[in-house]
Chains A and B, each alone.
Chain A
Amino acid sequence: MTAAALAPTPKTVALSSAQVQATERAAIDASASGPVLFFFGNAILWLLLTTALGFISSIQLHSPGFLADIPFLTYGRVLPAYNNALGYGWATLSGMGVAVWLLARLCRVVIKLPGVLITGAIFWQVGLTVGIIQILAGKTTGVEGLEIPGSAAVLMLFGYLLIGLWGALLFGYRRQGEAYISVWYLVAALFWFPWTFAVAHIAMALPSVQGVVQSMVAAWATQNFLNVFITAIGLAAAYYLIPKVINRPIHSYNLASTGFWSFILFAGLTGAVRLSGGPLPVWLVTLSIAATILLIVQIVTVSTNLLLTMRGEYHMVYHSPTIRFTFFGAIAFTLASVVGLLSSLRSVDRVLHFTFFQSAQTHLLLYAFFSMVMFGAIYYILPRLVGCEWLSSSMISLHFWGSAYGGGMLIAMLAIGGIAYGSALADPEAIFSQVIQDGAVYYVAGSIAWGMIGVGHLVFALHFLLMLLRIGQPGGEPTLFAPIGEEKH
């Protein structure tokens, strides 16, 4: 297969052809605006709920009595509610919004019957809401990572299938012959998620699947969600946004192609590292560690490609909000992948397994990489849908401060706290409760970080609301942190 096709922006086109393209883009954006705004708006509501739940669970780590007398807000329920709201609420909805818009743009197809996408999102969220209420009410499945009971999961799956089918149709009816690398990642994401979700829930329901196989299925599903679905959408957006805003094609299609194929071959085999050291056949964990190591091909090719595309244009992080968020995310992707590789090694895992270091890794991937890229994408896409530009670069700046520094601090605290805890427990004479107690400083710092993240998210949500009300700067020129000299475009 010839690797990828056109860059997102062909630079030299005749004026008339440019006008035709502009008209076509406007028609596509008009057809996408309803569902995409619906996805983004709902995603941001989930983000606010996630922030509140994350903050509560963080406080409970250093003040175990906090809200302890309210059964539905006990730590053991708030935590899974947080994880599900973050993954299936904010991440999935924002990801689907970006995916739908990117597919329509890159396949050059106007979205027919956008109401189907909205219906899908409604089903998804009704299922998710019911599921999270059940978790808070203690009616969980008890399977870590797949807590949402089957009946609610069926609603979610049905909603997803509507969205996924419409995404697949956009790909099927594409008018752009060769698919751009972002489209590859999006098609992979659209396909992998429902199959993983369905297989996992069916396996859970089968009476013959029990014992540690259940744990294996849950680990597989969680890993596929994070390391295939979420990662693929994040990379698709990064591969689109960076060349687009920098206004130069992606550095190398061959690198992009190699990266994609190594990703799709190995990422789905990494699930058993979550159960490393556990009561499973050794070959399973060994297989997953090997797959994690082989993913180095993807880490190197994707990181190199994005860095070389940015070469000479790094100053854009000072000007463009989209680039600042997306490039932050791209760096976090590299970091998350390298950390994931190192921590999968048995000698490292024996110290860091069962510690907050694993939570740090999840947040590095889901927040520092994926969410930051989604923020960047929303900053890029929204003006094209509502017809005005973001009101205030200071608000974007404040959002970046909260998310980058708050998120960075949270991840650093979880990672350092996890390393300190794991190393302390390596001494069998260490008193367990004392070791936990010694980590209090990290949990407190984590809560402060959550406060910063909360400020960022509130500012972002308000800014988004203003955009929905068309309160912004007149359209045409993107809102920048600082004007770009002659490179303004």
Chain B
Amino acid sequence: MKIPYGWVRELVDVDLTAEQAADRLINAGVEVASVTPVAPDLRGVVVGEIETIEREVGDSHGHRVLLCRVSTGRARYSVVCGAPNTAVGARAAFAPPGATLPGGRAIGIAKIRGVESHGMLCSERELGLGEEHEGGLLLLDAGAPLGADLVAHLGLDDHVLEIEITPNRPDCLSVLGVARELSALTGGRLRPPKIALRESRESARALARIRVEAPDLCPRYTLRVISGLKVAPSPAWMAARLRACGLRPISNVVDVTNYVLWELGHPLHAFDAAGVTDATIVVRRAAAGERFTTLDGQARTLDASMLVIADPQRAIGLAGVMGGQNSEVSAGTTRVLLESAYFDPGSIRRTSRTLGLRTDAAYRFERGADIEGLLDANDRAAQLMAELAGGTVARGMLDAYPRRRKPVRVRLRMERVERVLGVVPRRAHARRILTGLGLAVRERGAILDVEVPSFRRDLAMEDDLAEEIIRVWGYDKIPSTLPGGQTVEVARESDRLRQEGLLRRVLAGVGLMEAVASSFTDRARSGALGVAEPLALLNPLSQDAAYLRAHPLDGILGVVAVNTRRQEGDVRVFEIGKTYQSSTGGDTATSEPRWVALAVSGARGELSWRDGGGAVDVYDAKGLAEHALAALGVTTSTRTGGALGGFEPDCHASLLTAAGEVVAEFGEVAASTRAALGIDAPVFAAAVRLDPLPRARTFERYQALPRFPSVARDMAFLVPDPGPSAAAVETAIRREAGPLLREVVVFDVFRLPDGQRSVAWRLTFQADDRTLTDEEINTVHGRVAARVGSELGLTLRGS
């Protein structure tokens, strides 16, 4: 909200520059986003009068271009002007040669249509005061002193504070509110506008009626009736002030409602009485499907939760949000019904959001208006309409206020203030602060009895007042201490964080880069990963972030895609993150399983002169998954196939714990999935489920080191294609070899010219109680060869 500082200073005695005032407000919690001069770079522009129009010199955009004689009282100038509102006798903003307009535009003598123009008559936009230009010159009052500096005359020598309040402080959404805040902060005297209303003898009751049918949504509704109005442009000073507030002047009657909204903070609405049947205002819920055209010309369909202002026949306003076209004040309006009301904040907010109609009025009503202060707003507006539009104010105000607001009283213990803040000002000081904010305070020993005024809806309990006290006194008065009580337990990192931290270090340690990917995904990517129904957002920002990822590789494959697209072909990355899915338990019937997702593509290692390490393959993905599992003390066996989508069917397997639980899947990412993601090169990936895994590796009792030497024997089997899997061979070996076999590992695999593969195993034997003899080993070796031969049909190479 834009608030001219000069206006604020009319209502409070402070001796601060706009910048200083902004600092004080910010430090008291009233955010001032910016402080800007009203009329930057405007120099030498004065009040001029068009004395005569000498002749027409041409035509521009359908308007005559005229040569005028302009007087500034001291001198006369020949000025060419094409504005449609150029008229003899008009006083207007005039930039004589030597003046400067915004943007550093220097005015001199210019040739227009071959005619010399000495200076320029200016529009609002040319002066940097507003957007108006097509309408023509910025006209001034007939009484504006000729030759007077425009900046001084219109009070443009001022700064505008851009106020951004937190939702609890609607009372600061006005010039008076900001003035009150500054008064509390500086001790400067507050001088609210004097309301001096002259009423006619005719009673308002005789001229209008109110019927509130929905008092729950409209606790108070008041009307004044002003007759005999002459709708005309507002005086220049008011128009200038409204423009400085970022508002567009419309007419004296409408501008008064906006002016009072800015001055006192309460939204008002003036209905043209001619548009109100039987001069009767009915406040009711809309009928479902009721059609209504708002002031902005939009036809809207209402529902039964919305509140309308109506006459006995039709709606004439959308309560607290926007007026209607059918009762709009226009040039011919002579009598208005002036509304000042209080509407239920929640209802206004729902209506405004449902219709997508955010207005200054709705913004205030949804934050809570001042149910008592609305009387002053009504009186003030009536007064100004009488003064500026020649109206007569009927006697009395119609006021439908069935349930009066109960006064809010808070018993404030100074001891409580100290308990919350750790510091407390003297009682007299606290009292001064609260009084300065407009609160009524009575001292009763160590207790302050505080009555909260109706404009401070945010103050309802002791701690609210503690905040007011420290806010005004200064947050820098709070000392710095440390909590005394020690926790009885040692602070613990969560087990899950510990598990994730361990895996992160382990995987970064073997050359993987950690990524942190978004939780969002789109339909296409989910589909490419075989996810049919990901959880959908009701209100996504965009279609490519409309779902929550359900596949553990969703994020990490996106990372591969981004990098390969950017010529980073060697990608070795991992992510520790969640997927999101429906579930039967929990508050939200969803679950968020945690995963390590890893993906590799391109070269295995850094590019090197010695050996590049070759290209990654599926065994890299598998090995990294096994490495991560081993870090948690989990050993696994492999079973081909798995439950996750997105892998090549013939290159996809699962890792199982000894108990048979699948804790990881790995494989080559399917070509179709890659195509959907825009990845050209092969990618190998693994997903490890973290929730079923131990949170850390637990170490059992130590085992004594072996006292007798071990013996290694190599066995190379010829394996046809297709033939038994390595896992099957290993199982056979282990079964036959018995307890002396301590370790068995494949150390060499190659393909022979006949298509068979040679798979070489190294078996390591050891006994706890003796050195093994060659004969013992040879016997076992022979039995193993025989078993693998009989069970799997494999023969030893070279036999």
Partners in one complex: no
Q: Interface of A with B (CB < 8 Å)?
A: none
State the B residues within 8 Å of A (CB): none
